[in-house]
Chains A and B, each alone.
Chain A
Amino acid sequence: MKNKGVKKRLITLNINNRDYHVVIEDRDTLLYILRDKLMLTGTKDACGVGECGACTVLVDGKAVLSCLMLAIDGQGKKITTIEGLATDGKLTYLQKAFIEYGAIQCGYCTSGMLMAATGLFNRNPNPTRDEIKKSIEGNICRCTGYNKIIHAIEAVRDKRVKDKK
């Protein structure tokens, strides 16, 4: 199909408890809308085919890949991105733990990792080490070697994260 005369639609997306009205084409992925239209660039664009997990966001509390979800399918759903985790500048326990345990190096996978881990805690507040590993199996990190990330998530599970600023 040629580019000419492509139909555009106005849709409403609820992202981080705020309604955004955006004009989209049918083919636009949620990732494209987040990063290029709404400038919510915390969600990262890497492989584009669902292999790396960098674009993970929560849809109705479940971790999904925004590169493989059409923006139009996000209507009527509650979408949470990395920008929506901290409230009033206060980081979540997972975010604090990632800093405390050095689970961040270059940081490119971090937003995806945090969203995947948040999705895990939504589903299962007391995951075993194997369940933690399984929940981040779709998130690729080339720096940390994963151990520090797993330690950080375990620290949150065991409520070992200090509540400092």
Chain B
Amino acid sequence: MHLPHFKYYAPRSINTLNTLIENINGQAIILAGGTELLPRMKMRLIQPEHLISILKIKQLENIKIKNDKKIEIGATVRIDNLANFFKANKPFNAIFQAANMVGSQQIRNMATIGGNILQNTRCKYYNRTLQWQKIMPPCHKRGGNICYAVKNSKRCFAVYQGDIAAPFIVLQGKAEFLFNKNFIQKPVEDIFTGNGAVPFNIGKSILIKFILPASEDGIISTYKKYRIRDGMDFPIAGVAVAIKIENKKIDDIKICLTGVSSAPVVIKNIKDFISEKKLTDKLIHEISEIAYNQAHPVENIDGDANNRRYMIKQMTFEAIKELIGSYEK
């Protein structure tokens, strides 16, 4: 399969990247690992005039621990390097698990963290061949006004199936963008719109790096992924959980779901469950029930929607149980 024609650029510094973007006319797209963008281009779902590879910008490919113990992860750090960095790191275990389960070894060697977080939403009625696109009238995501997944829907339900965004959100990661020579920081959860057709509200800004807070004592995290095959596949449901333990009590809990909506779903209203109480199985069940109630998958990717929703409940329970078990040891 050939790619459509485009002009290729490979700036070597952030400054040249900035100048390039200011002077470019027409649609330009940033290329990093290419494992998600190039298949979409091959299927002619997207045909940019310009492709700007940022792999040659050395500043973007490192993980640094700053003086204040914050961790800075450059946008083009490969998923495999990210997984190795967080291996056997208890507070950031969720990131290791999620990164280690992305695609295949070849994909992890190529794909970057920036590309993984900013991957496009997917739908079995959108990620289709050119022949299919010629026959079927366009859906919301292809610029039309039909939804094949949910009849008569006025919006797009394409699913965000990134693995690593959910752990970044529960661990309170931030993303730093470059826009008009200014650097802007945003919490990772704020970069999503929730609209499947246009999943990110980052405009023309360019992702530079991610910043994770210093790992405090007592934070532990985990990630659970549900997929058809135990390798290769995107999550058809995923749960990231982080808990903070202070004075042998659970002080805070954060849960984020992926693969069930057009953006990662941050579970709300769970703080009440943990105040002043020990987390019994019954309480964990109640928390899982809340996660279940806030997940609304529809039939537009692999797997049955009801089953995916049920798995959210099951995985949330298992994740919290596993975390509590690991700190009580």
Interface residues of A (CB under 8 A from B): 1-3, 6-7, 25-29, 32, 48-51, 53, 56, 62-65, 67-70, 72-73, 116, 119-120, 133-139
Contact = CB atoms under 8 A, between A and B. Distances in A.
Contact of A50 (B5, B53, B107): B107
B3 interface: yes
Contact of B1 (A2, A48, A62, A70): A48
A27 B2 contact: yes
B39 interface: yes
A40 to B, nearest CB: 18
Interface in B1-56: 1-8, 10, 31, 34-35, 38-39, 42-43, 47, 49, 51, 53, 55
Contacts of B10: 72-73
Given A7-B7, A50-B35, A68 B110 contact: yes
B307 interface: no
Given A48-B42, A73-B53, A137-B231, A64 B110 contact: yes
A139 B104 CA distance: 8
Given A73-B55, A137-B232, A120 B105 contact: yes
B62 to A, nearest CB: 17
Given A49-B42, A69-B34, A138 B51 contact: no
Contacts of A138: 103-107, 231-232
A6 B39 contact: no
18 contacts: A1-B6, A1-B49, A2-B5, A26-B8, A29-B38, A50-B35, A50-B38, A50-B106, A56-B106, A62-B80, A67-B1, A68-B35, A68-B38, A68-B39, A119-B105, A137-B231, A138-B107, A138-B232
A17 B49 CA distance: 34
B109 interface: yes
B2 A68 contact: no
Interface string B67-106: 0000000000000100000000000000000000001111
Contact of B7 (A26, A51, A65, A67): A26
Interface of B: 1-8, 10, 31, 34-35, 38-39, 42-43, 47, 49, 51, 53, 55, 80, 103-107, 109-110, 230-232
Nearest to A131: B105
Nearest to A120: B105
Nearest to B100: A134
Given A48-B42, A63-B106, A3 B5 contact: yes
Contacts of A50: 35, 38-39, 103, 106-107
Given A6-B5, A48-B42, A137 B53 contact: no
A32 B39 contact: no
Nearest to A135: B105
Given A27-B6, A28-B3, A48-B39, 13 more contacts: A6-B5, A27-B4, A50-B38, A50-B39, A50-B106, A56-B106, A62-B109, A68-B38, A68-B39, A69-B34, A72-B10, A73-B55, A119-B106
Contacts of A134: 105, 231
B105 A27 contact: no
A11 B109 CA distance: 24
Nearest to A1: B5
B109 A70 contact: no
A134 B55 CA distance: 26
Contacts of B232: 51, 137-138
Nearest to A26: B8
Contacts of A137: 104-105, 230-232
B46 to A, nearest CB: 13
A65 B5 contact: no
Contact of A25 (B5, B47, B106, B230): B5
Nearest to A9: B8
A53 B8 contact: no
